[in-house]
A and B are shown apart, each in its own frame.
Chain A
Amino acid sequence: MVAFRRFRLWLRCLLRPGSVERELREELLLHLELETEKNIRSGMTPEAARRKAMVDFGGVERFKEQARDERRTRGLEDVFADLRNAGRTLRRSPGFAAVTVLTLGLGIGANTALFSVVNGVLLEPLPYHESENLVYINTYWTAESGFEFADYPVGSPEYFDYKSQNRTMEAVAAVSTEPITVVDGEGDPEVIRAGWVSPSMFRVLRMPPLLGRTLVEEDGGPQPAQVVVLSHGFWERRFGGDSTVVGRRIALGMEVSAEPIRAEIVGVMPPGFGYPDSGIQLWGPLPLDPARTWRGGHWFDMLGRLGRGVTFEEAKAEMAAIMEQWAVTYPDHHVGHGLQMRPLLEEEVGEARSALLLLMGSVVVVLLIACANVASLLLARGEGRRREVAVRSALGAGRGRLIQHVMAESFLLAVVGGVLGLLLAWLGVKGLLLLEAGTIPRVEEIGLDARALAFTGGVVLLTTLLFGLAPALRESRPEAAAALRDAGLRSTASPGRLRFRRGIVVFEVALSVMLVVAGGLMVRSFRGLLQEDPGFPERELLFAQFTLPAAEYEPEEAALFYDGLVARARALPGVEAATLMSRPPLLWEDQNGRFHIEGRPAAPTAPSCCMASFLHVGEGMFETLGVPLLRGRLFGPDDHRVESPGVAVVDQATAERWWPGEDPLGQRLNVSAGDGPWYEVVGVVGNVTYDGPGVVWPTFYMPFAQTARTHPFLTLSAYLVLRTTGDPAATVPALRQVVRELDPGLAIAGTFTMEGIMGNAVARPRFVLSLMGLFAVLALALADIGIYGVMAYGVALQRSEIGIRRALGAEEWEVLGMVLRQGLTLAGTGMALGLVGAAAGTRVLERFLHEVSPTDPLTFAVVAVGVVVVALLASWLPARRAGGVDPLEALRMG
């Protein structure tokens, strides 16, 4: 009963504080009235009686306050009251509130968004069972081998040897991909990418099927079974998700198989599974023959799962030991060449790692600046509240109570800023995914990360509370009552605090200068990248990819098909020229080709001597693309015949690298490991950057028709090149019609405009640049706010000093100049520190920069000027205010 009554009382105090207050007031008024009446009865005049009653009671408000203190709900009531009060005071200073909340929101949002991406890509484990035990294996060639390739595919003898010799792997698998033409199922014929793998891949990845079965050991071997497993996406798209599809047969048109394949569908994989990437539509068994001992061919990658209890280092050490053994057993092949492994996650993330870490570093700097800004703003706010706090203290507010009161505002700011941050983070992740344009692997793992939000939110909110607390602690000291006396005066204690705030601003400016310099360098580098000449005019070019099924096209038939295709394409409206080539510029990176020059000593590990890419081209390729002839001649019509003598055209890079100081014309080379036909060099052409903007790698060209003699299967796959008079993409429908007429069962594997290819080639630098630029702008804006804040505060403090100066005859412009000078000193100090820091720190950018030095003087100079301008802008308003100080008023107030 008592407990219930007490609870009712507590609830009433909490929910209806107004009525409780009213009752308190009524009770006290009654008391005073009765006391007054008593005094009158004892013979006083009514006025004297009332006065005495008041005096006897003491301060009414003070005792009301004490009575309130006795209530149990006091704490909660106060919190609500403080929050309401904080909300009111913040509404009265919307500028401060908006800037603080925005700073908090941007800091939390940007960091959480980027960290969510970094976490999803770099830290989140791969979606496989015990994925930390998965390793990726390929081969290396060091200078010792006569070649230099950091990453090279694996050959089957290497696969079988390692499989039988290692003791550290639970299982290994071979993985390659093939383009395959599919006609069955719903929709037009299409060319898909298939995984051609050893059945052990499913065991290594430990991935069970959704329907049917995966590939099993018996499916593999030199003559593998004609079975396939479908990806979930392919099954839904092509077969409408029909579960009776298992057991049916599907025709596969493959460039590498001269026999028609009608493979049985044995299973369907669950959604989300895709190895080596999510674009793979189905998997079939890769033919692997242990009897094949020729070690010169390399065409797949490997995957392995570490045995139970084996560490990556142990497996790596064992592999190194096996390689030493191979170097002894096969001195012709394995000197400076062998298998290498790395964790699968590292392989999947690849080069995106360094870009993401760079961005992460930048955004952490933004976070630091945001924290510094919030600290500076709150300290200034604390200064402004000195008088108020002193008054409250004098009226009897306890220290804890004062701290709580001041902190309510910080808390409110932190909460609103935090909510804004959450919103911005959510938008930020979406924005990043739009912006990344395929340059980040594993995007499907990316989502707003709760831990990231908790961390950055925690950092920023802690800053808010900490720097809200510092002034609260200081002002609530007992001697702060003294502040009441001099609060109206030119606050004598403040220069020290102003110095601290100036320090913060200098720090902010320095950090933002470093980011802006980094951003500026990226801009310069990116501009350079865009201006990089690919070696031919890139406008109005279309590439269409074809891959003919070997089962349907003999090499001669393929040649006929392509002849017809080129002839009909040439006749299409809007097409100026048409030809064939085996690889378009900039579409993918491939610097793995090897060839031999007649008369040269072969490399220690292979019958060839040299490294270069080589392309097969159709008639008029150089003219169509616009590659200039430098010496000798181009291919003539006679060269594009199977029986004509072998000829090659080399580019300038090949000439300079492999015939330095010699004339390549008349020299002979071959690409078939020494025993194939020789090709005589008849011309030298300009360089084309096939591997990336500005990347020149030795390249030479041979006619398609002549390739058919040694590599018939190479003629099945080609890119049709069209130079158009208008928008190249506009010719695609007409081109499809041409293909349908030539072979209704054939699909164009892909179409690319040169401009699209070039856009993709710079997508990652563009992504990094956009974010760095955004962070730099953000940092500069925050630092600008910081400068403004400290300058405005300084002017407010110096009001009476300025008044005296004005009274003594200083002109408005002199005062203006004084304040601007102070602002510039601040910015200048920060800038000097920032530039020194940037000079030391931008080295980490080196690998992201294209032909720009990390200490590029132009960038540094532009940033310096820019920061001065920004500092002037930030100081302008406070300076104007200082210039407008009325001397009389300022002195009176002082």
Chain B
Amino acid sequence: MTDHQADLLQGTLDLLILKTLALGPEHGWGVSQRIQRMSHDVLQVNQGSLYPALHRLEQKGWIEAEWGTSENNRKAKFYSLTRRGRAQLEAEQDQWERFSAAVARILEAAEAGPLPETSPLPETV
């Protein structure tokens, strides 16, 4: 697609799916469209990894699936957030914010001058 679309960071897909579903039940294709739309076309979900991720989250009990009817009147599998999924979303969101803040601090410091004493990166999410 276009140049400005960034690859999703490993592990962030789960977070994005949970966040998208927090807005309401959606089927697989809808989830990918929502992510693309909400990121103003910056984030493009690798469609191939979307379904394994959905199944993984379902196995973990964070989302649940239900058969419904899609906009083109087809039978579709709609995913929605469970209570546990909502708690997980909050935790992951919190972690992500701390992580991105840390990365931002490093980038600012690198621009400002020599590196301070290095500290290991927090573990990836």
A30: chain B residues at CB < 8 Å are 27-29, 70, 74-77
Interface residues of B in 43-98 (CB under 8 A from A): 46-49, 51-56, 58-61, 64, 70, 72, 74-77, 82-84
Give chain A nearest CB distance to B52 CB in angstroms.
Answer: 4
Q: Select one of A31, A70, A71 contacting B28, CB under 8 A.
A: A31
- Is the Cβ of B49 less than 8 Å from the Cβ of A66? yes
- Is the Cβ of A69 less than 8 Å from the Cβ of B64? no
Knowing A9-B59, A30-B29, A31-B47 touch, does A67 contact B52 (C-beta < 8 A)? yes
- Is the Cβ of A28 less than 8 Å from the Cβ of B75? no
Q: Report the bound CA distance from A23 to B78 in whole Å.
A: 12
Q: Report the bound CA distance from A31 to B30 in whole Å.
A: 9
- Is the Cβ of A70 less than 8 Å from the Cβ of B29? no
A291 close to chain B: CB less than 8 A: no
- Is the Cβ of A34 less than 8 Å from the Cβ of B70? yes
Residue on A with the closest CB to B70? A30
A37 close to chain B: CB less than 8 A: yes
B83: chain A residues at CB < 8 Å are 2
A659 close to chain B: CB less than 8 A: no
- Is the Cβ of B64 less than 8 Å from the Cβ of A34? no
Residue on B with the closest CB to A73? B59
- Is the Cβ of A35 less than 8 Å from the Cβ of B29? yes
Interface residues of A in 321-339 (CB under 8 A from B): none
A5: chain B residues at CB < 8 Å are 61, 64
Number of A-B contacts (CB under 8 A): 73
- Is the Cβ of A70 less than 8 Å from the Cβ of B55? yes
Q: Select one of A2, A57, A71 contacting B48, CB under 8 A.
A: A57
A26 close to chain B: CB less than 8 A: yes
- Is the Cβ of A67 less than 8 Å from the Cβ of B51? yes
Give chain B nearest CB distance to A398 CB in angstroms.
Answer: 14
Residue on A with the closest CB to B77? A27
Interface residues of A in 3-57 (CB under 8 A from B): 3, 5-6, 9-10, 23-24, 26-28, 30-31, 33-35, 37-38, 56-57
Residue on B with the closest CB to A59? B48
Give chain A nearest CB distance to B93 CB in angstroms.
Answer: 20
Interface residues of B in 19-52 (CB under 8 A from A): 27-29, 33, 46-49, 51-52
B74: chain A residues at CB < 8 Å are 30, 33
Q: Report the bound CA distance from A37 to B58 in whole Å.
A: 27
Q: Report the bound CA distance from A724 to B25 in whole Å.
A: 105
Q: Select one of B29, B61, B77 contacting A6, CB under 8 A.
A: B61
A23: chain B residues at CB < 8 Å are 77
Knowing A30-B29, A31-B28 touch, does A63 contact B48 (C-beta < 8 A)? yes
- Is the Cβ of A63 less than 8 Å from the Cβ of B51? yes
A62 close to chain B: CB less than 8 A: yes
Interface residues on A, range: 20 to 34
Q: Report the bound CA distance from A513 to B28 in whole Å.
A: 69
Knowing A2-B84, A57-B48 touch, does A70 contact B56 (C-beta < 8 A)? yes
A72 close to chain B: CB less than 8 A: yes
Q: Report the bound CA distance from A23 to B60 in whole Å.
A: 19
Q: Select one of B51, B61, B72, B76 contacting A2, CB under 8 A.
A: B61
Q: Report the bound CA distance from A6 to B51 in whole Å.
A: 18
Residue on A with the closest CB to B57? A70
Q: Report the bound CA distance from A24 to B28 in whole Å.
A: 11
A661 close to chain B: CB less than 8 A: no
Give chain B nearest CB distance to A283 CB in angstroms.
Answer: 75
A9: chain B residues at CB < 8 Å are 58-59
Give chain B nearest CB distance to A167 CB in angstroms.
Answer: 77
- Is the Cβ of A2 less than 8 Å from the Cβ of B52? no
- Is the Cβ of A71 less than 8 Å from the Cβ of B75? no
Q: Report the bound CA distance from A66 to B56 in whole Å.
A: 10
B82: chain A residues at CB < 8 Å are 2
- Is the Cβ of B47 less than 8 Å from the Cβ of A58? yes
A31: chain B residues at CB < 8 Å are 28-29, 47, 51
Residue on A with the closest CB to B67? A23
Q: Select one of B64, B72, B77 contacting A33, CB under 8 A.
A: B72
- Is the Cβ of B29 less than 8 Å from the Cβ of A67? no
Q: Report the bound CA distance from A59 to B48 in whole Å.
A: 8
Q: Report the bound CA distance from A26 to B59 in whole Å.
A: 19
B59: chain A residues at CB < 8 Å are 6, 9-10, 70-72
Interface residues of A in 201-260 (CB under 8 A from B): none
Residue on A with the closest CB to B71? A34
A72: chain B residues at CB < 8 Å are 59
Q: Report the bound CA distance from A33 to B30 in whole Å.
A: 12
A27: chain B residues at CB < 8 Å are 27-28, 51, 76-77
A37: chain B residues at CB < 8 Å are 72
Give chain B nearest CB distance to A63 CB in angstroms.
Answer: 4
Q: Report the bound CA distance from A407 to B61 in whole Å.
A: 33
A57: chain B residues at CB < 8 Å are 47-48
Give chain A nearest CB distance to B58 CB in angstroms.
Answer: 7
Q: Report the bound CA distance from A34 to B83 in whole Å.
A: 29
- Is the Cβ of B52 less than 8 Å from the Cβ of A26? no
Q: Report the bound CA distance from A71 to B59 in whole Å.
A: 6
Residue on B with the closest CB to A7? B61
Instruction: Output the residue of A3, A6, A30, A69 with the most chain B CB within 10 A.
Output: A30
Q: Report the bound CA distance from A66 to B53 in whole Å.
A: 9
- Is the Cβ of A56 less than 8 Å from the Cβ of B47? yes
B58: chain A residues at CB < 8 Å are 9
Instruction: Output the residue of A28, A33, A34, A59 with the most chain B CB within 10 A.
Output: A34
Give chain B nearest CB distance to A25 CB in angstroms.
Answer: 11
A6: chain B residues at CB < 8 Å are 59-61
Q: Report the bound CA distance from A62 to B48 in whole Å.
A: 8
Q: Select one of A26, A34, A59 contacting B75, CB under 8 A.
A: A26
Give chain A nearest CB distance to B3 CB in angstroms.
Answer: 16
Q: Report the bound CA distance from A668 to B49 in whole Å.
A: 112
A62: chain B residues at CB < 8 Å are 48
Q: Report the bound CA distance from A63 to B45 in whole Å.
A: 14
Give chain A nearest CB distance to B7 CB in angstroms.
Answer: 14
A24: chain B residues at CB < 8 Å are 51
Interface residues of A in 757-773 (CB under 8 A from B): none
A34: chain B residues at CB < 8 Å are 29, 70, 72
Q: A2-B61, A37-B72, A57-B48 are in contact. List 8 more A-B contacts (CB 8 A).
A: A27-B27, A30-B76, A57-B47, A59-B48, A66-B48, A66-B49, A67-B51, A69-B52
Closest 6 A-B residue pairs measured CB to CB? Answer: A70-B55, A58-B48, A66-B52, A70-B56, A34-B29, A63-B48
18 contacts between A and B (CB under 8 A): A6-B59, A9-B59, A24-B51, A27-B77, A30-B28, A30-B74, A30-B76, A31-B28, A31-B29, A31-B51, A35-B29, A62-B48, A63-B48, A66-B49, A66-B52, A71-B55, A71-B59, A72-B59
Contact residues of A with B, CB < 8 Å? 2-3, 5-6, 9-10, 23-24, 26-28, 30-31, 33-35, 37-38, 56-59, 62-63, 66-67, 69-72
